Structure 1
Amino acid sequence: MDGLRCAFDPADGSLTPVVIDVEASNGLAFFPDEGVLYVSDSSLSPAEADPPAGRPRGHSIHAYDVIAGRHAKNGRELVEVSPGLPDGFRADAEGNLWSSSLSGIQVFTPSGEKLGENPVPEKVANCAFGGADGTTLYICASTCIYRIHTRARDAVADRLAGSSGRP
């Protein structure tokens, strides 16, 4: 399976499989407290198809409880992204997920409810929060990079504020 996600241990250089049940894992993000890992499945299988037993559908974002800071357990499909595929996505400080899709950026609550959509006139591949305060959403599309100002704040902005890194 090409969707395997692993954890790297810098102490001994080992890789430990963490997510093994996603066909084509792509983007990933953490809930702000890092207690939940989100992984997008960008497989091309139709979202309506019935997958083999124990396998999630494509076109979706999955949630995993993070145990002891290194194990992903209790995997579940959180949202189905349509139209298109959830390629890149980000979490904001409230835990909402901002996902790429064929129609633009779709926004979901931590429980999977769709809050809304920011239309973009071309296919979206990825997005990232940035700017001085972490409230600007940069959207990477087919031919352009778009920038929108939001009321949301990047999930890692507070952790990075005191470091030399920027959100």
Structure 2
Amino acid sequence: MNKNEYEIHDARFRWLIQANAPLQKIAGDCLWNEGPVYFPAADQLLWSDIPNNRMMRWAPGAGVGVFRANANFSNGNTRDNEGRLVTCEHGRRCISRTEHDGSVVVLASHYQGRRFNSPNDVIVDSRGTIWFSDPDYGIMSDYEGFRAEGEIGGCHVYALEPGASEARCVTDDFVKPNGLAFSPDESLLYIADSGASHVEGGPRHIRVFDVRDGALSNSRVFVSIQNGVPDGFRVDEQGNVWTSAEDGVHCYSPQGELLGKILLPEVVSNLTFGGLNRNRLFVTATSSVYALFMGVRGAAR
């Protein structure tokens, strides 16, 4: 990797990157990429191109193609514990799941009888519970969904237990909750608040919660982002947090120390670890997707 493509703020960062690995642009010509998710069984990456209302696919040797057109303005994606695709849809304002036969089912679309705003990012824990954020980005205009009035009266974070008929609200004091990720042992849950994107003086930080028996407690600010706002992020096997930012990807230690940055020419929206050894970082940016081999693996699922 070229020297000017990253910043080292702590010597530990040198052991997390693969210094001689080039930053590769694997896709372009999109409008706003989001929700990267890697499927090891097929060795392929999926992601959402939200304004173009499609989901894209990339695989080594096969290149880029459309995975799903008319994708209901999908945003965040993840795999569940059975290897199925779980998606946040702005268009239908729901969480959906793609079954192994290709059919798509809606898992949750309302809370206490009111429609969600526009589910944004999603993760699944080891028990199969689906955790997702619900800001209002997808109903603010017709660019990433359909303009509409919110029904819930706020932007919250929810958890949907396996077999449950309705999600439960786990925290309701965010301005615009966004990316989520667990620590490797799932004792901590990190949640981004990107409220500064539309609220003057709003939050631009990642908070962290203690997790016990599916409940959150002891909320505190983990890190504040100075370049843009935090969007999507992931945690590696050592517990370091790799988060999106305006100037690239920032890496923080479990104690919240800035270790280094991977600098990119576009605003970064999200990222995920993938590859057959979980040592390849896939980064979705404004119009492109980048890939980079790393010196550390993503946290095991």
Q: Same fold (TM over 0.5)?
A: yes
| Aligned CA distance change for structure 1 residues 130 and 12 (closer, same or farther; 3 Å) | closer
Q: 1:35 & 1:95 partners in 2: Cα distance? A: 11
Q: 1:136 & 1:2 partners in 2: Cα distance? A: 36
Q: 1:146 & 1:134 partners in 2: Cα distance? A: 15
Which residue of the partner structure matches residue 18 of structure 1?
170
| Contact 1:3–1:26 (Cα < 8 Å) also in 2 | no
**Cα displacement (A) at 1:95:** 0.8
| Contact 1:5–1:18 (Cα < 8 Å) also in 2 | yes
Which residue of the partner structure matches residue 157 of structure 2?
5
TM-score, normalization: structure 2? 0.47
Tell whether 2:216 aligns with 1:60. Answer: no
Which secondary structure does the structure 2 equivalent of 1:93 belong to? coil
- % identical equivalent positions: 35
Give the 5 Å matches for 1:1-167.
2-44=154-196, 45-46=199-200, 49=201, 58-68=203-213, 70-156=214-300, 159=301
- Root mean square deviation, CA, Å: 1.4
TM-score, normalization: structure 1? 0.83
Q: 1:150 & 1:119 partners in 2: Cα distance? A: 14
Q: Which has the higher contact order (CA 8 A, sep 6+)?
A: 2
| Contact 1:124–1:142 (Cα < 8 Å) also in 2 | yes
Which secondary structure does the structure 2 equivalent of 1:86 belong to? coil
Deviation track 1:129-160 (CA, whole Å, cap 9, x = no partner) reads 1000001001111121111111121112xx4x
- Count of aligned positions: 147
Displaced runs of 4+ in structure 1, greater than 2 A?
Answer: 9-12
Q: 1:17 & 1:109 partners in 2: Cα distance? A: 29
Counterpart code for 1:36: L
**Cα displacement (A) at 1:125:** 0.7
Q: 1:110 & 1:132 partners in 2: Cα distance? A: 25
Unaligned runs of 5+ in 2: 1-152
Which secondary structure does the structure 2 equivalent of 1:14 belong to? coil
Unaligned runs of 5+ in 1: 50-56, 160-167
| Contact 2:159–2:168 (Cα < 8 Å) also in 1 | yes
| Aligned CA distance change for structure 1 residues 136 and 75 (closer, same or farther; 3 Å) | same
Counterpart code for 2:215: H
Deviation track 1:67-89 (CA, whole Å, cap 9, x = no partner) reads 11x10111111000121010110
Counterpart code for 2:258: K
